Structure formats: structure tokens, C-alpha cells
Chain A
Amino acid sequence: MDARRPPRAVIDPKVRTVGFFTPPDPIQFDSNSLSPVMIPPPCHSSENLDLHSPPSVTPPSGDESVSVTGSYNGSSSELFPAPMSPALSQKIVAGDGGVGGGIVASSFPRGGGVPVCKLTTVSVVNTDSFAFDERDKPNKGGGSSMEVKDQAMNSKQKNEKSSKAERRALQEAQRAAKAEGNKATGTVTSGNLKSAKATKPPQKVDNTSVAASEKKGVDRPSEKDRKKDVPHPRMQYDDKSRVEKAKRRAVVNHTESRNRVELFRHLPQYEHGSQLPDLEAKFFQLEPVHPSVYKVGLQYLSGDISGGNARCIAMLQAFQDAIKDYTVPPEKTLVRDLTAKISSYVSFLIECRPLSISMGNAIRFLKSQIAKLPLTLSESESKTSLQSDIERFIYEKIILADKVIVEHAVTKIRDGDVLLTYGSSSAVEMILLRAHELGKQFQVVVVDSRPSLKGKLLLRRLVEKGLTCTYTHINAVSFIMHEVTRVFLGASSVLSNGTVYSGVGTASVAMVAHAFHVPVIVCCEAFKFHERVQLDSICSNELGDPDVISKVSGRGDVNHLDAWANAENLQLLNLIYDATPSDYVSIIVTDYGMIPPTSVPVVVREYSREQVWI
């Protein structure tokens, strides 16, 4: 390392020669600009570049480096002189200040010998053309993203084959130049503007110390955007006035359960069983709710549909039906009316069962799609476009994502493994079945817990497929953990601080696995990621029917709590979810690949932007 470091410092300016080898060549920036977004790698990628390039590239452009660096300063304004609004240029400056801090301020005019400066300026400038696209759709392999990937690989190979790399770089530069030309002809659209904004938050997150200086740099719109991005505070059910309001709106007649647990007053807790007949009776009165939405709502309520993916797909399909049957009322616009309609459906569904985070994400996607409908589109066109959007969401985000996850996760299963899973996760089930199909020899331990006993259903499906299974309850998990080599868990959501929000008990299993040094692999589709953060399982959760706790299925002898509601000091608590701290999780398998829990915020940010851009 020491041997490699010094040259970097010395030759650093020359790197720019690589970047500016052919003057309108932002692709080099691109590869750099990619770095500040991916938080940890940036130094590396730039470092690599710096390391590899000098020996090959410097000689031809030895003196050019000076001139280029000189022009560099200009280039930032020269490359996009016309399209850039004053606000944008201001933003660029702000960006510099944001990341480079004082160093940048001083070094920038001089042509910047400090790599950090180069990175940041570049990132801001280039988002206009490329950086954004490629980061956005890393797996869609668009032209530019491929190039960047090549570039990255290139830079790695340069060590050995510098000449080849050089040629490649040239090629790419030309290609990029072409692309650049295309883009440059078009004016900078609002999208570009947005993209510039969008790249900001990461920088700010990176070094909060500089956040203040960035604020000074007049960054109003992005600031606003960011504020909008912050998830709304959830409804707190111990806030009486709001609960009253909600009740007035409510369609479903809830009776609040007695004997509520003090700690969970902020969550809705209703007596179960009373709503269903009530709702059924109301079917013909409830005009505004579309029948398929109504059906799904009832299925949620009765527990016929459970599991994150199933619920999400059912909801989306119901919305699809609703959109198909939808007609714009006279003197109303589709965008507004449909959004309101969807909102009313959603609130109906919430009354049936609180939304899961993945469903929230799906709804957000749908609403953004509606909002983005061009006004020029006719009613039927927009309806079909929305339907196909939903279709695509289901296919790409859920079905295809699961396939990708399975392919990734299967590589983690070896012959002779003993895999433990908790509850029933559709992704984990697919992984196990796929591994079995591939002929891997392994055993499965299914851990289950009351009251849902979903593990039994999973166990049945696995045993029917011929897998070797062991079944046990959650208390025995530390007994069985000695024999386990991997733990596969599903998740309802992954929050941006790395917390895995999943069915209750997951945290305990992950904790025991951690204590026994068994790797914990969480499988979760990226559309379930959420930017919310949570430290414990109490602030946000869902309460199930407490009655199911008092009855133990198949055990008539356990009947001590039959009349629990009459005992005034006794409460039963049926939590649905819990939050697994990120340090218990070894790896999260998503459709974007296998990432550590610390990388979740990156995926959340990238992904949510993609959702807008889809």
C-alpha cells in the first residue's frame, strides 16, 4: 500500500489528463461521479483510477495536463453554458462547498489538485448528462451504465494491460462524446435539474459537518423535496382528537378491545371478529368502494391473504380492476379524481388491516404514476397505461425480483448445510425449493411460533416436495442452533438504518444465530425497502387479535385464560412484527444483489428515485 500511495499524490493532476484526453469527454467524470454516490467505494475507485492510469497515459499528454486543468475550470461552465440556469450553477457551487468544504473552495480555482474536489464538482456537473441514468438503472444495463461498468472493470484491469485499457478508454470516451452530443442538443430538461438535486442528499448525508455550508448555498427546491421525502409521522392512536376524526370517517365499525396494553396505546387495537359480519352487511351501502377492493379488504380482515407479497399483489390487482372499471366523472380530471379514489380505497384497506410497508411503497408508486400521466392522454389510454404500469410493477418488482433473489441466495447453499428458517417466507421457500431442484443436499429446520403457526404450512409444502425437515418451536431455537449452518429469514420490510422489520420472532432467531455465530441471510425484495428508521419494535407495530393467544390449538388442556377479558389486571398482547437490529444480519439478498445492512440506505435512495423514473 505504501508503495502505491505516494505516486497517487504526485500524479494526481495527471489523472485529469485521462479525463480530458478528448476534451468533451465527461465519461471519465462519470466513473468518478459515480463514486460519491456509493458511499464507501468512491475513494477506492478514484484511487484505482489514479493508480493505474498514470504510467500509460501521462507521457502523451504531459504538458496538456496543465492546460486541461486550466480548461477544466472553464469546462464546467463551458460544457453546459446555455442550458444551465443560474440556479443550477449556483447549485454546483453549493455542491462543491458541500463536499469539499474549505479545501475545495481554495483548490477549485487553481484547477484543483485535491481528488475530493474533482470528484464532487464532476458529480454535480455530470449528473446533467449521464451519472443519473446509469446509477438509476444499474441492472437495466442501459448503454451508459454498461459503459460505466466497463470502465470500472477497465480500471481494474489497467494494472496488467494498460494499453488495452487505454484503447478502451478512448473508445468509451468517443462513445460518450456521441451521447453527450445527443444530450447537449436537447436543452436541459427539468428532469436533469431534478437529477442534480437528487444527487445532493447523499453528499449531505455523507458529511453532516458541512451541511450548514450547503444550506447557505441556496438549495431551496431540493431542500423542499427532501422534506417531502421524509416519511409522514404515522397516526398515533393515543391522540384522541385525531382518533375521533378518523372514527367519523370510518366505514368499518370497530369496537375497541378492552384490556388494552398501556405500552401500545398509540397503535390501533380493535376487537376482532365483530367487523366482518358488519362489513358484509354493509356491502350494498358502501357505494364508493370497488367490489374487488372490497373483496380484498375482506380477505385481509379474515386473514385469508397474508404475507407481504401476497397482500401487495392482491391489492394491486384489485386496483387494476378498479381502474379498468373507472370512468372520469364529468367536470373532473382523471389525475385528481383517480388519486382521490385510490386514496379512499387505501383508507378502506387500512381499516381492514393496517398496511404493510411494502404495500405503502406500491401505493406510492401507483400514485406517482397517476400524477405523471400526461394531460394529453385520453382517458382510455391513461387507463391502459396505468394498468400496464401495475402489471409491470407486479412482474418486475415482485415476481422477477424473487427470481433474482433465488438465484443469488442459492449460491449460498452448499451440500451438507443445515438451513434454519423462521415462520413462512415466500422468498425463502422458493430458495429452498430451488436448491432442492438443483440437487443440493441439505436439511431444513423450520422454526415456528404461536399464534400464527405459519411454519406448519411451509413445513407441509417442503415435506411434500421431498425435503428433509425438522420442525420445532421458537423456544427451542437455541437448542437446535448448534447444528445449523445458515439462517434464512424473510422480511416484511428493511428500514434504512438496516433494521429488518419482519414477523415477530425473527429478531429472536437472528439474535440466537448471532450468539452462535451462524450467518443470518435476510431475503427481501427491494420494493419493500423503506426510508423510515426504527430502533425498537414498540414505536411502530401492528397488534393482532389478542384472543388467539388464550387458545392453544390442539391443546385443550391449556385453558387457563378462557375468561381473560373479565380479569381487569390481565392483558394479552399479540404483536405482529418486530425489528431486528442490523448487527444481527450478515447479509441482505435483494434483487440488486447481496448487500450488507449498512448499504440499505443506498438502495433505498437509488430505488425510490427509480420508482419515480420508471
Chain B
Amino acid sequence: MLFLLMYLFIDLDASKIEGSQATAKQAAELLRSVISQQRLPQTHQATALISAVRAVGEKLIAANPVELAVGNIVRRVLHIIREEDLSLATAAIDGLELSAVSDDEDDVERDDYPVLSAAAVAAAARSTLRPPSLQTLLEDTPISAAIPHTSSSGGDSEGKSRSVDKSSRGRKLKHDVIEAVNELIQDISTCYEQIAEQAVEHIHQNEVILTLGSSKTVLEFLCAAKEKKRSFKVFVAEGAPRYQGHLLAKELAARGLQTTVITDSAVFAMISRVNMVIVGAHAVMANGGVIAPVGLNMVALAAQRHAVPFVVLAGSHKLCPLYPHNPEVLLNELRSPSELLDFGEFSDCMDSASGGSLHVVNPTFDYVPPKLVSLFITDTGGHNPSYMYRLIADYYSADDLVVKRRPATTS
């Protein structure tokens, strides 16, 4: 496990992993192995798991704080642990309550409850986050009432059944959590397909689409529309300084799409003939702002000027529960000047310079404010930027928003 961990650290540091999807997947796999190797104590198993995950997560995030996907995955896993714990606890309490209310109930039925699929209960628990319907308001009071009891719930029950229950619950919890993390990994790797499925709804015949740089999500999205016999044209801005657009254009052309490569500077010139801008994102913040490859703010402004829809494709692992503050600086990364100027290119005038100096700025990301984004397409469908905070509430629990500080205060 340590091996794997080191590996990921190194990768993150060197930014070797391309794309947040791969990073997210690796982080999830790493956390899964952390969970499976964690030895759980008899009591407070969930807390133990959470603190273990948190400790690793903190290191992962610190390895590359700009790679928000890692933090997202850590929070997602923490959330999963909490949910599974909650669902087990509620199931147990339900069982206890049932037994308390009706003593003559069979043990068989009591055992049935924990067997209830954790996912179903988790869904029920998640529903507490949703705006309560009239029915839940009227009928479902016990669930929300039960939540505060979870930690101490073990103590109420009978001594005999308690130990049995505990041990089974312990194994159950770990098992369930790993199951859920597996599901998460599955989700991450299939998010392309789920997003691409929606392509036909958004791309029509004879449209002209502009994109900048390269994103696997965008590639799959466009190709999915192409496979549905839609014929359209794509303008690809090359996306300095990495020029990933060349790669994307090559792929698209190979798949039979009419593709035109333009320079980044020509985006404004061309946008007046474009029907839709479709781009990938690095991360989506809770306010609906997007951390995106550099240059997209310019594209978004141009799109706004010409009233062209600006659509951002983002898998759910890119949804970040944080609100950005000065993201252009704080959530950015300055890359090597060698991408712009050759080594030693200006050394001659630097030597003789009479007080002149030269800086090279080469940022990696751009922040696109929510007002410039027309639509987010995630694996759960299309959403408005203003709705992102709500979507995010489904995936993360409020306790985990700050991963870093919690262990620092406890230790």
C-alpha cells in the first residue's frame, strides 16, 4: 500500500497523470486499499475509518493542492463511509425500535433489517438532504430523529445481541464501504459514456462547434453525436502552450468529423460563425465557476459577446464542494517558461541589460465565472451553474469540506 501511495504522490507532484479523470480514479483506488487494510477497532469503527482516510487524503491533497479531483475523491470516500455507517445505524435502530415496540417479534425479522441493501438506506438517508416532500415531512420523522443517536446507539441495545451485532456490523461496514468505493470507481470510468449519451440532445445537424485544447470527455461527446449520424463541423483552437488541440483535431478527423484547427488568437474572429462552444473542465466549483485550461476565459467572453452557448462537460468527480476565492492565483499553477521561450533565448540581452528585466508568465488554468457558463453537462444530466451547489450537496457531506484542518486539530 505504501508503495502505491508513494507512487501516486510522485505522479501528482510531477503532474504525470494526464487529466483529472485518471487522477481521480487512482486516488479512489488508493483509498480503497487504505480502507481494506485498515484494522477496525470494536467501537467507533466509522470514526476510525474516517480518520484513516483523512490522514491519507490530507497527504494526497498536499501533494498537489491544485489537482482538485483528488480532494473531491477523498471527500466522496469520506461521505461514503458516513453514509454507510448511517445506513447501518439506522437499520440497527429501526430494528431496535421495532423490537422495543413489539417484543413478540421474531428474531428472523430483526436480522433481516441489516441485510437491507445499504444503497437503499443510503438513498433514504440522502433524501434527507433533498428538500423534504410533504410525505416525508408527515411520515418520516424517525430517520432524521435517529441521526443524532447514531454514535451512542450501540449502548442502548441489549448486551447479548450487542457484541454479535457489533462484529457483524464492523465487517459489514468495511464491506459496504469498499463496495461503494468500487461503485464510485466504476462511475468515474464510465462518466464519459454517460455524458456522451446526452450528446444527441445538444448537437444538431450542420452545427458548428468550437472547442479549445483537448479533453477526452469532449472527444467522446462529439464522437457520440457523430455516431448518431449527425454531421457537423468542429473548430479546434490549439490551446497554447500545450497544443493539445492538435491531438484532438487529429482524433476527430480520424473519426470522420470535419475539423478545422485554428490558432487561439483566431477564436474571437471565428466565434461569430459558431453555434456552440463545448469544452472540458479541470474542476467545477460550488458556485458554478469553472477551473479550466488556460484560454477558456477568453473563449467564454467571446461566446458571451456573440450569444453563443458555452457548455462545460464535467464528470461528477470534477465537482468540487469548495467556493473559490481568487482562483486565478490560488488555484493555479505556473508552468515552465521553456514552453514559451527557448532556454537561453534571451540570455544575451539579459547580460547586457541596463536595468531591464524579463518575466515569463505561463499559467495552467483559467477561471471562468459562472455567469459566462450557459450549461453544465454532467453524468447526471444538464444543469445550470446556479444549481451546482445543490448537486454538490448530494455527493459530499458538510463535515468533510475541510479535509486538512480536522486532523491537525485532533492530533
Contact = CB atoms under 8 A, between A and B. Distances in A.
Interface string B217-261: 000000000000000010000111101001101101110111111
B301 A511 contact: yes
Contact of B358 (A459, A473, A549, A574): A459
A462 B355 CA distance: 11
B346 A460 contact: yes
B360 A472 contact: yes
Contacts of B265: 449-450, 474, 504-505, 508, 575, 578
Contacts of A571: 259-261
A581 B305 CA distance: 10
B108 to A, nearest CB: 65
A478 B353 contact: no
A511 B268 contact: yes
Contacts of A261: 260
B287 interface: no
Nearest to A568: B253
Contact of B359 (A263, A451, A471, A568): A471
A337 B361 CA distance: 56
Contact of A468 (B305, B345, B356): B356
A479 interface: yes
B366 interface: yes
B269 A541 contact: yes
Interface in B15-32: none
A549 B346 contact: no
Nearest to A515: B301
Interface in B266-302: 266-270, 272-273, 294-295, 297-298, 301-302
Interface string B338-373: 011110011001101111111111110010000000
Interface stretch (A92-100, A242-250, A343-351, A550-558): A550-558
A467 interface: yes
Nearest to B306: A536
Given A460-B346, A511-B298, A474 B305 contact: no
A560 B239 contact: no
B264 A572 contact: no
A476 interface: yes
Centre residue among A451, A464, A569 by max chain B CB count within 10 A? A569
Interface in B316-345: 328, 332, 339-342, 345
A477 B301 CA distance: 12
B269 A538 contact: yes
Contacts of B391: none
B264 A472 contact: no
A505 B346 CA distance: 24
A573 B260 contact: yes
B262 interface: yes
B362 A460 contact: no
Contact of B263 (A476, A504, A507, A561): A504
A58 to B, nearest CB: 54
Contact of A573 (B252, B261, B353): B261
Contact of B328 (A479, A541, A572): A479
Given A463-B356, A468-B356, A573 B262 contact: yes
Interface string A449-462: 11100001001101
A451 B254 CA distance: 24
Contacts of A449: 240, 263-265
A475 B339 CA distance: 13
Given A450-B264, A550-B246, A571-B259, A477 B298 contact: yes
A550 B249 CA distance: 11
Nearest to A569: B253
A53 to B, nearest CB: 48
Contacts of A470: 358-361
A578 B254 CA distance: 30
Contacts of B258: 569
A480 interface: yes
A536 B271 CA distance: 10
A569 B259 contact: yes
A495 B366 CA distance: 33
A578 B269 contact: yes
Nearest to B242: A558
A469 interface: yes
Contact of B361 (A464, A471, A538): A471
A265 interface: no
A525 B328 CA distance: 37
Contacts of B349: 460, 463-464
Centre residue among A449, A451, A474, A508 by max chain B CB count within 10 A? A508
B268 A508 contact: yes
A465 interface: yes
Interface in A307-321: none
Nearest to B246: A560
Contacts of B356: 462-469
Given A464-B349, A471-B341, A555-B243, A572 B260 contact: yes
A569 B256 contact: yes
A61 interface: no
B263 A567 contact: no
Interface in A378-420: none
A450 B269 contact: no
B263 A575 contact: yes
B263 A475 contact: no
A596 B129 CA distance: 55
A67 B260 CA distance: 75
Contacts of A567: 250, 253-254
A554 B188 CA distance: 36
Contact of B246 (A467, A477, A507, A558): A558
A595 interface: no
B358 A463 contact: yes
Nearest to B369: A515
Contacts of B302: 508, 511
B363 A479 contact: yes
Contacts of A468: 355-357
Contacts of A558: 243, 246
Contacts of B239: 475
B366 to A, nearest CB: 6
Contact of A561 (B249, B342, B355, B357): B249
Nearest to A468: B357
Contacts of B350: 463
Contacts of B241: 473, 475
B223 to A, nearest CB: 13
Interface in A470-505: 470-480, 482, 504-505
Contacts of A511: 268, 298, 301-302, 305
B238 A549 contact: yes
Contacts of A459: 346, 358
A572 B261 contact: yes
A48 interface: no
Given A508-B265, A549-B261, A475 B240 contact: yes
B327 to A, nearest CB: 11
B380 to A, nearest CB: 30
| Nearest 5 A/B pairs, CB to CB | A505-B265, A475-B295, A537-B269, A570-B253, A466-B356
Interface of B: 233, 238-241, 243, 246-247, 249-250, 252-254, 256-270, 272-273, 294-295, 297-298, 301-302, 305, 328, 332, 339-342, 345-346, 349-350, 352-363, 366
16 contacts: A450-B238, A450-B265, A463-B349, A466-B353, A476-B361, A476-B363, A477-B298, A478-B328, A512-B298, A538-B269, A554-B342, A560-B247, A567-B254, A568-B253, A573-B261, A581-B305
Interface of A: 261-263, 448-451, 456, 459-460, 462-480, 482, 504-505, 507-508, 511-512, 515, 536-538, 541, 549-550, 552, 554-555, 558, 560-561, 564, 567-575, 578-579, 581
Given A470-B360, A537-B272, A569-B252, 18 more contacts: A262-B233, A448-B340, A449-B265, A464-B349, A466-B353, A468-B355, A469-B357, A472-B362, A475-B366, A478-B301, A479-B332, A507-B269, A512-B297, A538-B270, A538-B273, A558-B246, A571-B259, A573-B266
